[in-house]
């Protein structure tokens, strides 16, 4: 018989799951858990400076590896602080396990100090939530949580553990098996055969890749399919890396800030193959007018996504990797030369030049300069705003899990702590976090975490003294009535970074910015690279909110 406290059981179960890094912050309601964690020889704890930062560090681990990330928070404000990171993971199908402390069960419902209904608050924004009532239940709940998080369409799972359960002594005979994903759903081969028939008959097909391709890890297979069938391919913000952006068949990103030729090609396609994508409004624009001449094949592991936003002519509920593996030998080798000539004509007519790309102190210029220094193993994260779209347009993402960004929820403050998580999971790689001054201020306190852990994260801070995307939309769509978007105080980000013990470089104040950038990127350890950006620089092209994609401006 084994005898342990609930807290010790949790830590041992996490060890058995292969967890080696946990980000979090201790507090009164989870101190037994932290006491047990202090005895672990396998798990490294990363002390975040805000629970939201801990959640995004866990996301950085999960997004860059495909494995479940783990984070801890205490009850009350600790739990509410981490909810944004959980909601973000839900929107982008990221597997994280969040374990929160809770007041003892005898105090539940009494408005006790730091009591909040974490289970109730988390329920709508998780794939599943647990309220644990006994230490023995942990032997089932923890492995099951990993199974749920990693199965089917991945997502976040929350486990709320009252303090008395953490302290409770439990005797048991054997450890449960670690939680593993459920079997992938079966699908009808006839549906795949029908999809192949539709693809082979199409004259102007386009493959539309979403984040499901990245989750399935089949980017190499996608490249083989599109090369065999000569199928132009576009990607959502979450799908970047499904095929290399530089590939001859790549149309880049579609949607609100896509190249004009990408959206216009979609207007003329006769077959759209949506793989692991959910027809999000930022991708489709006015969805009723998206791909108006196309039949639609929709492959997704989540049955709830089929026909939800756009009715498919052929809906296939399946793991997208297994579906594409079955589809590949059935796709005929085609040249589709006329379709590619048409697209090349669109590219020549509506080319999307990147203004200022040769000027390092500009949006596209700094992105190009960074990409020229990094190797293919580098990982890129972004926060949310203009800089996110500039990077999505211009950075040559080459592979799956190279690109980490907040897509569905669009969470400012995501990029930097996510970069810390990615760097912890991949200590031999360079991780670059592109951020704007507005987003960076959201989780700037994690500079202390980066300094503590000495992570190899480079922050490219594109500073236009404004909430840039708010400024752009107010300028374009609200009669130039700029309100609550420009910052009065000019923050000394370089001085602040140095105050945290992190190296910093001000490219706008150095005589040789390219050399300074290259030196900073190649040196190990954390570094902030400040880049002044003109507030008048805008992200173009742009689809006005609510308009169809063909009505791009700029």
What does the alpha-carbon distance between residue 326 and residue 90 come to, in Å, rounded to a whole number? 29
Same domain as 143, residue 23: yes
What does the alpha-carbon distance between residue 382 and residue 360 come to, in Å, rounded to a whole number? 19
- Residues in Cβ contact with 210 at an 8 Å cutoff, skipping those fewer than 6 apart: 235, 236, 238, 239, 274, 275, 276, 277, 278
Contact 433, 501 (CB under 8 A): no
State the pLDDT confidence band at 527, using cuts at 50, 70 and 90: very high
Total structural domains within the chain: 3
User: pTM here?
Assistant: 0.96
Q: Give the CA distances from residue 300 to residues 116, 194, 307, in Å, rounded to whole numbers and listed in that order.
A: 36, 16, 11
Same domain as 228, residue 131: no
**Helix, strand, coil shares, percent, the chain, to 5:** 40, 20, 40
Same domain as 153, residue 193: no
Q: Facing residues of 315 across strands?
A: 298
Give the DSSP letter of residue 28: G
What does the alpha-carbon distance between residue 231 and residue 206 come to, in Å, rounded to a whole number? 6
Q: What percent of the chain has pLDDT over 70?
A: 100
Q: Give the CA distances from residue 178 to residues 44, 83, 153, 240, in Å, rounded to whole numbers and listed in that order.
A: 19, 26, 19, 32
- DSSP string across 470-514: HHHHHHHHSTT---S-B-SS---HHHHHHHTT-EEEEGGG-S-HH
Q: Match 């999960």 to its residue by tokens.
A: 62
Nearest by Cα to 347 from 258, 240, 284, 279:
258
The bridge status of strand 21-24 relative to strand 69-73 is parallel
* Residue 500: both structure tokens together: 């945290």
State the pLDDT confidence band at 350, using cuts at 50, 70 and 90: confident
Q: For 434-461, what is the mean pLDDT?
A: 98
In-domain check, residue 148: yes
**pLDDT at residue 352 is higher than 70:** no
Q: Match 């709830």 to its residue by tokens.
A: 304
Same domain as 459, residue 333: no
Q: For 191-196, what is the mean pLDDT?
A: 98
Residue at which a domain ends, from 172, 206, 227: 172
Q: Match 């997004």 to its residue by tokens.
A: 63
Same domain as 292, residue 224: yes
Q: Which residue has the higher pLDDT, 13 or 352?
A: 13
Nearest by Cα to 109 from 99, 119, 100:
119
In-domain check, residue 269: yes
In the prediction, which pLDDT does 554 show? 84
In-domain check, residue 551: no
CATH number at residue 72: 3.40.50.970
Nearest by Cα to 320 from 293, 302, 295, 296:
302
Q: For 231-258, what is the mean pLDDT?
A: 96
What element of type H or E holds 102? Answer: strand 96-102
**pLDDT at residue 445 is higher than 70:** yes
What does the alpha-carbon distance between residue 440 and residue 190 come to, in Å, rounded to a whole number? 50
SS3 62: helix
Residue at which a domain ends, from 295, 325, 349: 349
What does the alpha-carbon distance between residue 426 and residue 260 come to, in Å, rounded to a whole number? 36
Cis peptide preceding 267, ω within 30 of 0: no
In-domain check, residue 226: yes
First CA to last CA across the chain, in angstroms? Answer: 70
Same domain as 257, residue 159: no
Domain range for 499 is 363-532
How does the average pLDDT of the chain come out, rounded?
A: 96
Same domain as 383, residue 456: yes
Same domain as 515, residue 374: yes
Same domain as 18, residue 163: yes
Q: For 96-117, what is the mean pLDDT?
A: 96
In-domain check, residue 544: no
In the prediction, which pLDDT does 432 show? 98
Residue at which a domain ends, from 128, 143, 172: 172
Give the DSSP letter of residue 466: B
CATH number at residue 245: 3.40.50.1220
Give the DSSP letter of residue 548: B
Same domain as 315, residue 208: yes
Q: Give the CA distances from residue 266 to residues 39, 211, 255, 279, 537, in Å, rounded to whole numbers and listed in that order.
A: 56, 19, 10, 13, 27
Q: Is 111 exposed, middle or buried (0-12, 13-18, 19+ CB in 10 A)?
A: exposed
In the prediction, which pLDDT does 353 show? 76
What does the alpha-carbon distance between residue 306 and residue 283 come to, in Å, rounded to a whole number? 16
Same domain as 196, residue 105: no
Q: For 100-111, what is the mean pLDDT?
A: 95
In-domain check, residue 66: yes
Nearest by Cα to 328 from 191, 229, 184:
229
In-domain check, residue 244: yes
- DSSP string across 406-453: --SS--TT-HHHHHHHHHHH-TTS-EEEEEEHHHHTTSGGGHHHHHHH
Q: For 12-26, what is the mean pLDDT?
A: 98
Phi, psi dihedrals of residue 296, rounded to the nearest 5°: -125, 125
State the pLDDT confidence band at 475, using cuts at 50, 70 and 90: very high
In-domain check, residue 179: no
The bridge status of strand 69-73 relative to strand 128-131 is unpaired
**pLDDT at residue 97 is higher than 90:** yes
State the pLDDT confidence band at 1, using cuts at 50, 70 and 90: confident
Nearest by Cα to 160 from 96, 112, 117, 107:
117
Segment 353-387, tens digit of pLDDT: 799 999 999 999 999 999 999 999 999 999 999 99
Q: Is 479 exposed, middle or buried (0-12, 13-18, 19+ CB in 10 A)?
A: exposed
* Residue 527: both structure tokens together: 């570094």
**pLDDT at residue 351 is higher than 80:** no
SS3 544: coil
C-beta neighbour count of 288 within 10 angstroms: 9
**pLDDT at residue 38 is higher than 80:** yes
Q: For 106-132, what is the mean pLDDT?
A: 96
Same domain as 483, residue 334: no
């Amino acid at each position: 018989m084994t005898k342990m406290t609930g807290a010790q059981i949790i830590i041992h179960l996490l060890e058995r799951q292969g967890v080696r890094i946990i980000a979090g912050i201790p507090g009164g309601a989870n101190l037994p858990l932290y006491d047990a964690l202090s005895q672990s020889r396998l798990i490294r704890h990363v002390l975040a400076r805000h629970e939201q930062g801990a959640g995004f560090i866990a996301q950085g681990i999960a997004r860059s590896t495909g494995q479940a990330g783990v984070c801890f928070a205490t009850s009350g404000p600790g739990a509410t602080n981490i909810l944004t990171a959980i909601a973000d993971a839900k929107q982008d199908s990221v597997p994280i396990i969040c374990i929160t402390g809770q007041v003892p069960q005898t105090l539940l419902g009494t408005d006790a100090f730091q009591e909040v209904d974490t289970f109730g608050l988390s329920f709508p924004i998780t794939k599943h939530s647990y309220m644990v009532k006994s230490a023995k239940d942990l032997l089932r709940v923890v492995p099951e949580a990993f199974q749920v998080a990693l199965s089917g369409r991945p997502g976040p799972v929350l486990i709320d553990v009252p303090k008395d359960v953490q302290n409770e002594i439990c005797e048991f005979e054997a450890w449960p098996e670690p939680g593993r994903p459920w079997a992938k759903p079966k699908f009808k081969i006839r549906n795949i055969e029908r999809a192949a028939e539709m693809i082979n008959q199409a004259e102007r097909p386009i493959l539309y890749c979403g984040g499901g391709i990245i989750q399935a890890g089949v980017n190499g297979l996608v490249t083989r399919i599109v090369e065999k069938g000569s199928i132009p391919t576009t990607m959502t913000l979450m799908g970047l890396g499904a095929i290399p952006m530089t590939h001859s068949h790549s149309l880049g990103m579609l949607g609100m800030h896509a190249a004009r030729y990408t959206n216009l090609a979609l207007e003329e396609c006769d077959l759209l193959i949506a793989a692991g994508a959910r027809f999000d409004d930022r991708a489709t624009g006015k969805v009723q007018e998206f791909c108006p001449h196309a039949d639609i094949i929709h492959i997704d592991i989540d049955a709830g996504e089929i026909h939800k936003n756009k009715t498919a002519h052929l809906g296939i509920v399946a793991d997208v990797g297994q579906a594409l593996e079955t589809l590949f030998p059935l796709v005929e080798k085609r040249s589709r030369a006329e379709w590619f000539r048409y697209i090349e004509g669109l590219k020549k007519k509506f080319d999307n030049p990147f203004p200022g790309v040769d000027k390092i102190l500009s949006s596209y210029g700094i992105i190009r300069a960074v990409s020229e220094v990094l190797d293919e193993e580098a990982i890129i994260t972004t926060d949310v705003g203009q800089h996110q779209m500039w990077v999505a347009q211009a950075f040559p993402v080459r592979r799956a899990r190279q690109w980490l960004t907040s897509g569905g929820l669009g969470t400012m403050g995501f990029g930097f702590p996510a970069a810390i998580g990615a760097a912890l999971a991949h200590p031999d790689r360079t991780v670059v976090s592109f951020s704007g001054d507005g987003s960076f201020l959201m989780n700037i306190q994690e500079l202390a975490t980066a300094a503590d852990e000495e992570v190899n994260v480079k922050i490219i801070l594109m500073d236009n003294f404004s909430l840039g995307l708010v400024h752009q939309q107010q300028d374009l769509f609200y009669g130039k009535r700029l309100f609550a978007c420009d910052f009065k105080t000019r923050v000394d980000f370089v001085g602040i970074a140095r105050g945290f013990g992190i190296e910093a470089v001000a490219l706008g104040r150095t005589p040789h910015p390219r050399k300074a950038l290259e030196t900073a990127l190649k040196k190990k350890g954390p570094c902030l690279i400040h880049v002044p950006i003109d507030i008048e620089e805008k992200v173009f092209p742009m689809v006005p909110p609510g308009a169809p994609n063909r009505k791009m401006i700029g």
